[in-house]
Amino acid sequence: MSQVRSKTKHAMPVQDPKKRITNFSEVALGYDEKLARAEAERCLNCKNPQCVKGCPVEVPIPEFISMVKQGDYLGSLKKIKTKNNLPAVCGRVCPQENQCEKYCILGKKGDPVAIGRLERFVADYELKHGSDDATMTKAAPTGKRVAVIGSGPAGLTAAGDLAKMGYSVTIFEALHVPGGVLMYGIPEFRLPKDVVQKEIDKIKELGVEIKTNFVVGKLATVDELLAEGYDAVFIGTGAGLPYFMNVPGENLNGIYSANEFLTRTNLMKAYDFPNYITPIKVGERVAVIGAGNVAMDAARTALRLGAKESYIVYRRTEKEMPARREEIENAKEEGVQFILLTSPIEFHGNEEGVVTGMTCIKYELGEPDASGRRRPVPIKGSEYEMAVDTVVLALGQGPNPLVPKTTPDLEITEKGTIRVAEETGATSKPGVYAGGDIVTGAATVILAMGAGKKAARAIDEYLRSK
Amino acid sequence: MHKVVKKEIISETIKLLEVEAPLIAAKARAGQFFILRLNERGERIPLTIADQDQEAGTITTIFQEVGRTTRELGKLEPGDYIADLVGPLGVPSEIEKYGRVVCVGGGIGIAPIHPIVRDLKKAGNEVITIIGARTKDLLFWEEKLAALSDRLIVCTDDGSYGQKGFVTEMVGEVAAEGKIDRLWAIGPLPMMRAMAATTKPLGIKTIVSMNPIMVDGTGMCGACRVSVGNETKFACVDGPEFDAHLVDFDLAMRRLQYYREEERIAAEAGNCGCGGGCGCHR
Ligand SMILES: Cc1cc2nc3c(=O)[nH]c(=O)nc-3n(C[C@H](O)[C@H](O)[C@H](O)COP(=O)(O)OP(=O)(O)OC[C@H]3O[C@@H](n4cnc5c(N)ncnc54)[C@H](O)[C@@H]3O)c2cc1C
Ligand SMILES: Cc1cc2nc3c(=O)[nH]c(=O)nc-3n(C[C@H](O)[C@H](O)[C@H](O)COP(=O)(O)OP(=O)(O)OC[C@H]3O[C@@H](n4cnc5c(N)ncnc54)[C@H](O)[C@@H]3O)c2cc1C
Ligand code: SF4
Ligand code: SF4
Ligand code: FES
């Protein structure tokens, strides 16, 4: 190759910040063919590719990128799909900077290869142009049935893999739409719902049946599913339980959990009210408490719903923020303001019970805690008032207790997550496997998928030996 | 998709629908509810399972038309379909043999009290049922409840039928006759609050069914929070039934009011026949 290799990634075209806060369309527009091929050319096609070690599902990165170089996009996608059923999703929301791209050799002396953007490009290429050859192949039917509970990335992946291995798979999903957080949580402007839907349709094409509006633990328990003739069960019910702060005034109107705020907007499409009938109310001054991905999503959503000021209020400093760097930058570009080393201790409302303000206290950073992050310590006497008319609590989510509570012999940790064998996802109950956020607590899409894959393999082994 | 198999018009604004939902019909227990979404653009709203027929595979709901979704629901006819139904949700009523129990249904609350009466009777209790409404036209299921109960008291605020007076007064009379071991009261929030105030000094353990705004009904959003004994509970998974003497009714009332303006807009958008699609209702 004669060209000089650029030290920086090819930038991805994005919607202008001023314009994008007026709509819910996707912010990052994706590479076109030219940009994709140019970026692919940066890859060294390493003999011993470090990048693959950073990917929880071991996508054959150099191979798929080589095929992009050659313009064989569908072949490239087929390569990715040997390991990853949801590339259009992962290419968009994987924290690549901590995973594949973190290990890319080019990262030592410049930007790593934009692996995520390339993955997204080939996946979108297929979604746009369609593919004539089936990118997913199926084994002969085994005659055995597997029940998958929850249709988030963990459940979808387990279901897709098991279907490919010849199992007859049924997914049971509590909501009216499959997809889990991909559908109800992550906003349209970061992960368009039709992209997720197309990925789900592909899994359906493998013969997976999806029963929506089916709450396991209510309509049927895990034991009842096993008694009904399912040979194995995979639990992927996620971490959907929102945490509150337990401070005075928290139940005032206008104080939402991030889950409610995002579900009303994404799943119920309240941004298109009254064409869609579910309402959402956003005032002029919105405070989002917390600084993870969920908080960034909420703060950016608030702007799009008409907030004049959207604040992130966080107890620590920018350095400790758990959100992806890229999301913090996007939020800043759009005008989200950051109030750091601060947290509310009480909310106040008017006669109608609507929040009008909060008492905040200032913090300073003290000694590092168990997680290695410096512990925030409240500063005595630093209380002050802040006027707000909408508050979104993005303090994290716990495991959904419905299935654990109704499955007596399932071993649960003190955090409420399901205890599994690390390598297989096997629970304490024979034939029952679990993975994703219900096992790890709130984590990432790709880790949930990795867990779904592992469990699918283990379920296959279990059922073969039975 | 769930087919409507039967419809009854109880009054101008109160309707009964029987809907195909065989799995829910087989599973539902007293005190549980379901959530429906009428169509693609619809809101998810909770309604109590007022009756169920396992053989026919149907559930029955009685609802009051108060806004956009309940009004559209009221327009459905046998043969029409409801897009989504999810249930049974919520914790079932604590049915045990208590002794002498009283079940009170106020207004639309007559419907959800029915399965509780049914199962308390089956469990061997002496069941005294009290139903009341503003006026005669808003009463229903008198015979059905009379057949299940040891005694049925009917009252109307205006005296147009049965005894004249509020359900709380009737409870006072029943309490004067003998010990009440447990009491259920379901109806509009002001009625449940009044009942809590009536039974507290009498020391009668009282259960109410809370009706906050809900979204998912599975404990995922926290929209349905109620304060019970100063603790926050999610009505959809911890309830909807709670100890009446611990519930913060003022908070519950304020929380139900939050979307008044939006509800009006949604209802108007529904009225013009465009289904909201004409875009004039922003
Ligand atoms: C707002 C937001 C933004 C995020 N952003 C990112 C990001 O940028 N990158 C990233 O990698 N990760 C992100 N995450 C985290 C990521 O989405 C989760 O880690 C991932 O979705 C977990 O997948 P899962 O399959 O375990 O569970 P979920 O996606 O939570 O799916 C669980 C499913 O199970 C269903 N369910 C629950 N209980 C029952 C029951 N009893 N019966 C039937 N069904 C049931 C639920 O309705 C749900 O559909 C974000 C999360 C949120 C909330
Ligand atoms: C567990 C439970 C069981 C219920 N059972 C019954 C029943 O058997 N029969 C019956 O007639 N009603 C019942 N309700 C109330 C019923 O859900 C509401 O009347 C309905 O949601 C109103 O919707 P709408 O669009 O027609 O009216 P809207 O225009 O949305 O609202 C009109 C009024 O209803 C209240 N409301 C709005 N949304 C909700 C919501 N999601 N949940 C509760 N209240 C809301 C508002 O405070 C407002 O005052 C129950 C509610 C709960 C939580
Ligand atoms: S799945 Fe995620 S971590 Fe793996 S290669 Fe793709 S973007 Fe990287
Ligand atoms: S480490 Fe980087 S350069 Fe090497 S194969 Fe992976 S992506 Fe290409
Ligand atoms: S309705 Fe969402 S948690 Fe109860």
Q: What is residue B282's predicted lDDT score, i.e. its pLDDT?
A: 45
Q: Is the pLDDT of residue B281 over 50?
A: no
Check whether residue B30 and residue B64 sit in a common domain: yes
A61 CB less than 6 Å from ligand 4? yes
B188 and B48 co-located in one domain: no
Structure tokens at A432: 């029952």
ipTM of the complex: 0.93
Percent of chain B scored above 90 by pLDDT?
A: 86
- Both B78 and B115 in a single domain? no
Where is pLDDT greater, at A130 or A110?
A: A110
- The domain boundary residue, chosen from B47, B66, B89: B89
Of A185-189, A370-374, A460-464, B103-107, the poorest mean pLDDT is in: A370-374
Spatial CA neighbour of B133 closest among B258, B270, B11, B271:
B11
Q: Range of B180's domain?
A: 100-255
Cβ atoms of A79 and A63 within 8 Å: the answer is yes
Q: Give a yes or no: residue B282 inside a domain.
A: no
Please, what is the average pLDDT of chain A? 93
Q: Are residues B191 and B136 in the same domain?
A: yes
pLDDT in tens, A386-430: 999 999 999 999 998 999 999 999 999 999 999 999 899 999 999
Burial class of residue A128 (count of CB atoms within 10 Å of its CB; 0-12, 13-18, 19+): exposed
Q: How many CA atoms lie within 13 A of B5 on its CB side?
A: 13
Find the chain A residues whose C-beta atoms sit closer than 8 A to any C-beta of B: 174-176, 184, 212-215, 218-220, 240-242, 244, 246, 250-251, 253-254, 256-257, 259-260, 263-264, 268-269, 273-279, 281, 352-354, 400-402
In a domain, B260, yes or no: no
Minimal C-alpha gap between A36 and chain B (Å): 37
The answer to whether position B61 is within a domain reads: yes
Chain segment B59-104, per-residue pLDDT in tens: 999 999 999 999 999 999 999 999 999 999 999 999 999 999 999 9
For helices A193-205 and A115-129, give the axis angle rounded to 10 degrees.
70
B228 belongs to a structural domain:
yes
Asked whether residue B189 carries a pLDDT value surpassing 70, the answer given is: yes
CATH number at residue B239: 3.40.50.80
Based on the domain organization, do B52 and B186 belong to the same domain?
A: no
Is residue B261, in this structure, part of any structural domain at all?
no
Task: Give the Å distance between the CA of A7 and the centre of ligand 4.
Answer: 13
Domain assignment of residue B221, yes or no: yes
Tokens of A313: 């209020």
Torsion of CA A252, A257, A261, A267, to 10 degrees: -130
Cα separation values, B234 from A128, A164, A251, B91, B120, Å? 43, 40, 11, 11, 25
> Does residue B114 share a domain with residue B196?
yes
Per the structure, the count of domains in chain B is 2
- Cα–chain center distance at A4: 37
Distance of CA A182 to the CA centre of its chain: 6
Residue of chain B with shortest Cα separation from A265: B215
Identity of the amino acid at B23 = L
Q: Is this model's pTM higher than 0.90 or not?
A: yes
Contact A191, A89 (CB under 8 A): yes
Among B245, B241, B247, which residue's Cα sits nearest to residue B92? B241
Domain check: are B108 and B61 in the same one?
no
